[in-house]
Chain A
Amino acid sequence: MNLVKGGFLLSLVSLALVGCGSEESSTNNGSSTGIEGDLSFYTSQPDEDAQKLVDAFTEKYPDVNVQTYRSGTEEVISKIKAEQKAGDVQADVLLVADSVTFEDLKEEDLLLKYKSEELSEIPSNLVDPDGMYAGTKVMATALVANTANVKEMPDSWNVLTDNSAKGKTIMPSPFYSGAAAYNLGVFTRNEPFGWDYFKSLKENEMTVTKGNGAVLQAVADGEKAYGMVVDFIVARAKAEGSPVELIYPKEGVPVITEPIGIMKDAENEEAAKAFVDFVLSEEGQELAAEIGYTPIRKGVDAPEGLQTIDEMNVIDADISELYQAKEEDKKEFETIFGQ
């Protein structure tokens, strides 16, 4: 019984300690840029890439202390919404996969309007007209093929419905990947695809898996021959030596833009704006290209193996329509792919 009391006291003491600990935060006066303090950055970028971005930013703004939280887009948004319900959103700046997700936050009035000066160099169709968020890079969903299994590289999305590829194709589930849900919305609203395309995919025994990573894995190890997948992870795997090839089909590709936005009740608005400016600036965009993404800013080159935004034939759809129809699209997808 002594043990119960001991444990309980111990937990009380440690709670009290934490309570005190949180008060200490370093305030560094006398900064050169005038921008300082803590900045809470929530993102879905891979950890390494987020770290490089934050390092480059703090080199320029040494008095800003950036706290990063990284997870999958779905987890990041769930966290923000839970924080909202608990009383106070902790994030200042947010950078996650796709604009439909941002549209949802915009709808809930969680975002701050900010039109950065850098926006003049960003294609206007990839920026929210109301200034709530802006794209930061371009990620196309393209075709991946296994070079050991596929002799002649295709140039069209039709290969996925071709008899020769029966049972050998794979795609991410729109129920688990926000990017896949976006692609579904775009494909079904564009000729020559529509829902018929997805019906033929099902007839051709398309496998649906959890996410883009699983698609790449299945194609790389030869379990499948073709996959529908986001382009940059294919370029990375190919550069490492995996037996995969990236193809941009001639009908065009849907793109997501990893938009960035500022939360409405951001505690450090100045630093948040400086961060957004930095990400969209020439310097920030060159960094993105160096890490391995297609930059969104005009005039910055794409990394090797990837097309630039000018080279791509982009297919898209109205964002707010996509947002409104998202649940129905997923339901329709389920009736086609359900058994």
Chain B
Amino acid sequence: MEVFARNLLNGISFGMVLFLAGSGLSVVMGVMGITNLAHGALYMLGGYVGWTVAIQFEMNFWLAVFLGGLASGLIGLSIERIFLRHLYKQPNEQVLLTFGFVYIITNLCIWIWGGRPRMQFTSPALSGLLDIFGMPYPITRLVIIAIGLIVAIVLWWLQDRTRIGAIIRAGMDDKEMTMGLGINLERVSMLVFFLAAFVAGVAGVVGAQIMGVHSILGLDILLVALIVVIVGGMGSVQGSLLGGILIGLIDTFGKSLFPQLAMFTMYLAMVVILLLKPSGILGRRV
């Protein structure tokens, strides 16, 4: 029973990281039609910046989270403004471009922070165990779950309850019509892209509490985020949350029950969804 509860909480907390990592990717894909392969690199960058703030300069953890997000958000925004914007009608070229940036960002991170494998990054503020029904459980993971929920609620509120969210959803459905109504979709798109990158950076700092920071994260996280998007569906906060938690649970229980299968459980879920409902559980028809 304790094993089950532990797995459950581990799966959910891991899933929250996946949600945070994947939500930005999903929304940018759904809203702006851009497949930003550099999203994982932005996650990684956030983690590195957060590490510098929290561990190297020993500053407040929440400050690290914020600054990590900010760094990623700004880099992401500049990629969009300086480069992607000019490739508006060419989706293949956009994707290729972001692929190029994975290399650039990853190598820059190695240059700045060194190629050390897996830097440990557990903020002292979050250490310790909490007693849950007699089972000691790391506070870190509980905080992660909390952060995930809060971000989910905020994003959902933005998406469904604000004017900006309505504009975004309208833009997703019919870009020309929305622009034709005089709405400055470009400005909103910039905001969306920045926000998505920001969340990715935050995810990097938060996720580092469980997984550390290392230079291959750029691609590893991208892959996982893509699976979350495929499984959960593109373009909605709910889809990413569902996808993230589902994959988190599948991966955790999978590794616990069939250790030799390792990453396969995630891939299996992806292939199953692709064969049954390619647009994802909560996605629109592709």
The yes or no verdict on A and B being binding partners is: no
Residues of B at under 8 Å CB distance from A? none
Residues of A at under 8 Å CB distance from B? none
